[in-house]
Amino acid sequence: MGLLGRLFQRLWRILDGLRKVLHLALLLFLFAIVWAAARHPLPLVPARAALVVRPEGRLVEQLTGSPFDRSLGLLTGDHEPETLVRDVVESIHVAAKDGRILALVLDPSQMSGAGLTKLRAIADAVQEFKKSGKKVLAYSRYASQEQYYLMAQADEAFLEPTGAVGVIGFAAYGLYFRDALDKLGVEVNVFRVGTHKSFTEPYTRQDMSPEDREQTQGWLTPLWQAYAIGVETARKLPAGSVDAYVAEAVPALKAADGDAGRLAEERRLVDGRKTTLEFERLLVGLVGEDHTTHSFNAIGHAEYLAAARPEAALTRHPAGEVAVLVAAGNIVDGERPAGEIGGDSFAEIVRGARYDDDVKAVVIRVDSGGGSMLASEVIRQEIAALKAAGKPVVASFSSVAASGGYYIAMDADEIWATPTTITGSIGVFGLVPTFEKTLAKLGVASDGVATSKLAGAMNLERSLPAEEKELLQTGVAHAYRDFVGRVASARHKTLAEIEQIAEGRVWIAPDAVRFGLVDHLGDLDAAVLAAAKRAKLAPGKYEVTFREKELTWRERLLRELRAEGELAVRGLGLAPTPPAAAAVARAVGAFQRQLRAVAAFNDPRHLYSYCGCGLD
């Protein structure tokens, strides 16, 4: 055997050894979770306890990534924590009827991000819980604006003596890169239709365009008004109290000798200030003492659901299903894990509901700013086929259902949105960066031959020829006309009516109802009820299921192990998140999501209907 052969043989042995080590590491990882799960069986609900709702990370409609990624991230800390809104809402609804749960505790200290629509869903569940006559208490050492919205829903809200309430108003700022791209020699070719289609502006401008400024103010102001009214209603404050708290922040804090907690108490944003120990003793008086932790008897919402769901399943006798299909994240071509909407993978879920005889109606739950036009059309066609098969289809919009997010839902029998949903953005763009000038700065050039002016035109190391630019702009214009025409047909409007509200304009849901883009204002429960009525399902005689892409047996195992592992590692302490660290982490996370959105664009025609709008 020659030297080269021996070299490859040795390389193969090294790679094979590495493979075995990685397999062993994976097995040890799985055994570690199984061991943890075995040591921590499913929890029992105490005879007297408080349900502790402590969302971790971002509130989402769908968890991001594969079960394996989430399981690994849980142990390594590399995965940004997420909490399913529907899990929180379900736990509160079930607890309201559970005689073992005597109180509800809201602890938002670990929540890092949420759209107002998602916060409102939890707030509505809390208000419904209050009708049971049980006490609702809230506590935090520091409350950000989003965290405080949940605190405000309690009967009594307490702040750590040195804490603060960070209510400051809403803002929508973005980063603009034109000058930086010019310095780097990156040429960004933008093709768009829609005077207000603003997603590409950060790559072509150094500031917000007048059109985008106008439309953003148009939805930002109603969102802030909804936030303020929600707090004032829950806290029984006079109208204008929240705006006054923000406007008078500087002189008011000076008058309070810089004591932010005192200011929050004086303005009745909280009922008082207590240390963690004092708050725990208050709960002990309500629900009793846990003699193991010497705190109050408590069970977290995730642990409570793990115990309550099997109990509830024993009493179910459904005559059919209303299947909720969650479309959350950016819309991209092909197959994608949860947290993104793959054109092929989501179409497969819709098709599965179409051929499942147990599914009598479908609700498409959308939380997306859109993405690939091709993937959106693949999904729309499958939803149209579902509707043609005779199964009612109702769309339910979460925080954002704009651009492609609206496109995939427009053929539904009914469209529901919450008053704080951002929608519309009917427009199309293409975005193609080229790096000829960048390479020239490094002394690198591209040259060669082709059989036509278009051959090799999309090589990003060369500037786009005029013919290719014209081709792309023509395709964008056609896609826009097609989008507008399909909306007009689906919504039973004329082209002229849709053109007046299109052009990429972003709308708040009440305006969308006025224009006919949305049928009704209401939450997910209202949409489910509407779907059940269309399917002629009697109340209480159907089951609501949330369907995702069918998992392999390995993924199902990992999902179960992850659930058990979470029960093993979660505590019920009221640990704070440092405000500065949370703010930095959120800013970095938002920037990373913006970059990921662009990096994930994979439409083969380079045509996108995407809206980077909203506060979530």
Neighbours of 168 (CB within 10 A): 11
Tell me which residue of 614, 154, 551 sits closest to 417, measured CA to CA. Answer: 614
50, containing H or E segment = strand 49-53
Q: Count CB neighbours of 110 within 10 A.
A: 18
Give the tens place of pLDDT for each residue, 437-452.
888 888 988 888 888 8
Q: Which amino acid is at 164?
A: A
- DSSP secondary structure letter of residue 43: P
**Summary mean pLDDT of the chain:** 86
HEC letters along 99-129: CCEEEEEECCCCEEECCHHHHHHHHHHHHHH
Burial-class residue 83 by CB neighbours within 10 Å (0-12, 13-18, 19+). buried
Confidence at residue 571, expressed as pLDDT on a 0 to 100 scale: 38
What's residue 21's pLDDT? 57
Q: Which residue has the higher pLDDT, 558 or 529?
A: 529
Per annotation, catalytic residue among 140, 368, 399, 403:
403
Specify the range with the lowest mean pLDDT, choosing from 28-37, 313-322, 382-391, 457-466: 28-37
Degrees, nearest 5: CA angle 41-43-49: 160
Mean pLDDT across 507-515:
97
Residue range 341-350: average pLDDT? 96
Segments making up each domain of the chain, as ranges: 49-172+209-311+566-593, 316-427+506-550
> Distance between alpha carbon 595 and the CA centroid of its chain, in Å?
16
**pLDDT in the model for residue 314:** 58
Summarize the confidence of residues 54-81 as an average pLDDT: 77
pLDDT of residue 608: 76
CA 551/CA 63 separation, integer angstroms = 14
Q: Looking at 197, 274, 360, 493, which residue is catalytic?
A: 197
What are the two backbone dihedrals, phi and then psi, of residue 112, each rounded to the nearest 5 degrees? -110, -15
Report which of residues 54 and 72 the model is more confident about: 54
Structure tokens of 244?
């006054």
Q: Do domains 49-172+209-311+566-593 and 316-427+506-550 have the same CATH topology?
A: yes
Regarding predicted confidence, which is higher, 598 or 463? 463
DSSP H helices, 365-408, are: 373-388, 404-407
Bridge partners for 544 per DSSP: 322
Give me the mean pLDDT over the 367-383 stretch.
Answer: 95
Give the pLDDT confidence score for residue 194 in this predicted structure. Answer: 87
- Residue 100 sits at the vertex; the CA angle it makes with 97 and 106, to the nearest 5 degrees, is 75
Percent of residues, the chain, with pLDDT higher than 70 = 80
Residue 295 clears pLDDT 50, i.e. is over it:
yes
- Name the CATH code of domain 316-427+506-550 (choices 1.10.150.120, 3.90.226.10, 3.20.20.70, 3.90.1170.50): 3.90.226.10
Average pLDDT over residues 342-350: 96
The single-letter code of the amino acid at 306 is A
Give CA–CA dist 515/91, Å, rounded. Answer: 36
Taking the alpha carbons at both ends of the chain, their separation in whole angstroms is 62
CB atoms within 10 A of CB 317: 7
- Amino acid code (one letter) for 457: A
**CA-wise closest residue to 593 among 212, 216, 209, 328:** 328
391 included as an active-site residue: no
- CB distance 197 to 428 below 8 Å: yes
pLDDT score recorded for residue 23: 56
pLDDT tops 90 at residue 455: no
Lowest mean pLDDT among 39-43, 331-335, 451-455: 39-43
CA distance 327 to 304: 26
Poorest-pLDDT segment among 41-45, 160-164, 450-454, 569-573: 569-573
Active site residue 97: no
- The pair of structure tokens assigned to 171 is 């803002």
- Cα separation, 565 vs 561, in Å, equals 6
Q: Over the stretch 569-598, which tens digit does the pLDDT of each residue have? A: 443 333 334 444 444 444 445 555 555 556
Q: Which fold has domain 49-172+209-311+566-593?
A: 2-enoyl-CoA Hydratase; Chain A, domain 1 (3.90.226)
Is the pLDDT at 514 greater than 80? The verdict is yes
Whether residue 566 is predicted with pLDDT greater than 90 in this model: the reply is: no
